[in-house]
């Protein structure tokens, strides 16, 4: 069985990019170690601080962010980082050719209850190698990503990675190495399973309300098939389920806070997950355009996220035409 190091060795990508991916994987092992210890690791509970988006930070949000920040800024190939838990971008080495954006601990509401959470990352090329990074360097559309992935801290710790040549899955073994368990994962085009937080129903746009109402009508409705529903409230777990057996995940626009177009963030959640899903043959959309075509205006920008099995994502787009 190939470990991550040997799999990257064989990959036809820039050696510097391999080192950046290696750094992220190694750091996620440490984050996984903290989660394994649960309450014994002292990472349950909240901090008194809020992040830049006004969300109360969990202790593990802060710990995971600090670990990734330190290891990535120590990697000379990293020109800069942006994190869901940092107010601003942070410059790295002048010689670095890669920018890393990440959500250090996604699904924070699940930490204290011992349910799956994850780390999500996206790697972009620098637009001006050799000079200090600026915000403009980061504000690239998702279609510029050179790699993306996540680590799911569930019953197994799983790394899922794309470098634009399909999607590979690795499991963390007891000896501390990630080993490749699946290559070229494919999302089935059709599905009978959807994921959405139904408690927000009244805040959605009418077209989204209509689509979900039709899903609920099952074989008696216009879609003509029965659907099952799942909601883990950890995007990493939902995307992993979809990569494994298909499905559609939706965190659409809602008018609870009209100045925020959705809950999820483009640079740390929307783009990397869309890159993975599309590399596995699935689709992603804001309901209007492909997520990876959105040109970001702000680093912490939010975006409506619809992704998963192609047939269903296309159906959502049709409801919004």
| Residues that bind Mg ion in the complex, under the rule CB under 5 A | 103, 106
Determine the interface stretch with ligand AHM among 29-37, 63-71, 101-109, 181-189 (rule: CB under 6 A): 101-109
Q: Is 234 in the site for ligand AHM (CB under 6 A)?
A: yes
**Shortest distance, position 278 Cβ to Mg ion, whole Å:** 20
Count other C-beta atoms under 10 Å from residue 5's C-beta: 12
Nearer to ligand AHM, 84 or 317 (CB): 84
Alpha helix stretches (DSSP H) within 139-234: 206-216
Residues 58, 112 contacting (CB under 8 angstroms) = yes
Residues 6+ apart with CB under 8 A from 285: 291, 306, 307, 313, 316, 317
Instruction: Extract the tokens encoding 272.
Output: 């990397």
Spell out a b/e string for 36-45, using b for 16 or more CB atoms within 10 Å of the CB, else e: eeeeeeebbe
How many residues touch ligand AHM (CB under 6 A)?
Answer: 13
Q: Which is nearer to ligand AHM, 51 or 126 (CB)?
A: 51
Using CB under 6 A as the binding rule, whether residue 145 contacts ligand AHM is answered as no
Decide: 140 and 264 in contact? Cβ < 8 Å.
Answer: no
Rounded to whole angstroms, the Cα distance separating 99 from 101 reads 7
Task: Please list every residue from 18 through 37 that binds ligand AHM, using CB under 6 A.
Answer: none
Strands 147-153 and 157-162, by their bridges, are: antiparallel
For ligand AHM, the binding residues in 171-200 under the rule CB under 6 A are: 197
Least separation, in Å, of the C-beta of 57 and ligand AHM?
A: 9
Q: In this chain, which stretch among 106-114, 130-138, 221-229, 272-280 interacts with ligand AHM, using CB under 6 A? A: 106-114
Q: Which one, 99 or 235, has the nearer CB to ligand AHM?
A: 235
For 196-288, strand residue ranges (E) read 228-229, 248-251, 283-285
Q: Which does 96 bind (CB under 5 to 8 A by kind): ligand AHM, Mg ion, none?
A: none
Nearest residue (CB) to Mg ion, 106 versus 312: 106
Q: Tell me the per-residue interface mask from 204 to 233 with ligand AHM, x by CB under 6 A, - otherwise.
A: -----------------------------x
Backbone angles phi, psi at 225, to 5 degrees: -145, 155
Q: Give whichever of 7 and 237 is closer to ligand AHM, judged by the CB atom.
A: 237
Least Å from the CB of residue 59 to ligand AHM: 14
Is residue 24 exposed (0-12), middle (13-18) or buried (19+ Cβ within 10 Å)? Answer: buried
Contact status: 95 vs ligand AHM (CB under 6 A):
no
Q: Which of 89, 99, 106, 178 binds ligand AHM (CB under 6 A)?
A: 106
- List phi, psi (to 5°) of 226: -85, 135
Q: Which is nearer to Mg ion, 120 or 283 (CB)?
A: 120
DSSP assignment letter at 94: T
235 binds ligand AHM (CB under 6 A): yes
Separation between Cα atoms, residue 162 and residue 271, nearest integer Å? 12
- Distance from first CA to last CA of the chain, Å, rounded? 47
Which positions lie near ligand AHM, rule CB under 6 A?
Answer: 55, 84, 103, 106-109, 197, 233-235, 251, 263
């Amino acid at each position: 069985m190939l470990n991550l190091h040997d799999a990257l060795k064989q990959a036809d990508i820039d050696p510097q990019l391999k080192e950046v991916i290696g750094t992220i994987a190694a750091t996620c092992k440490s984050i996984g170690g903290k989660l394994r210890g649960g309450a014994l690791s002292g990472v349950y509970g909240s901090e008194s601080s809020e992040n830049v988006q006004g969300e109360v930070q969990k202790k593990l949000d802060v710990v995971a962010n600090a670990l990734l920040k330190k290891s990535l800024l120590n990697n000379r190939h990293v020109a800069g980082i942006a994190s869901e838990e940092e107010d601003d971008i942070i410059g790295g080495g002048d010689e670095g050719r890669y920018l890393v954006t990440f959500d250090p601990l996604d699904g924070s509401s699940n930490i204290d209850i011992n349910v799956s959470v994850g780390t999500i990352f996206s790697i972009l090329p620098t637009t001006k190698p050799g000079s200090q990074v600026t915000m403009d360097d980061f504000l690239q559309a998702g279609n510029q990503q050179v790699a993306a992935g996540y680590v799911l801290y569930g019953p197994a710790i799983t790394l899922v990675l794309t470098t634009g040549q399909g999607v590979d899955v690795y499991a963390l073994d007891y000896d501390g190495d990630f080993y490749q368990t699946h290559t070229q994962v494919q999302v089935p085009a059709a599905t009978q399973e959807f994921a959405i937080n139904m408690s927000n129903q009244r805040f959605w746009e009418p077209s989204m309300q209509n689509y979900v109402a039709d899903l609920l009508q099952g074989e008696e409705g216009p879609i003509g098939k029965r659907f099952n529903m799942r909601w883990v409230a950890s995007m990493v777990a939902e995307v992993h389920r979809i990569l494994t057996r298909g499905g559609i995940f939706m965190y659409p626009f809602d008018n609870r806070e009209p100045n925020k177009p959705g809950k999820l963030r483009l640079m740390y959640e929307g783009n990397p997950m869309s890159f993975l899903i599309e590399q596995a043959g699935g689709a992603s959309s804001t309901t209007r355009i492909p997520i990876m075509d959105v040109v970001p205006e702000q680093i912490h920008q939010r975006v409506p996220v619809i992704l998963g099995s192609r047939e269903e994502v296309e159906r959502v787009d049709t409801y919004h035409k």
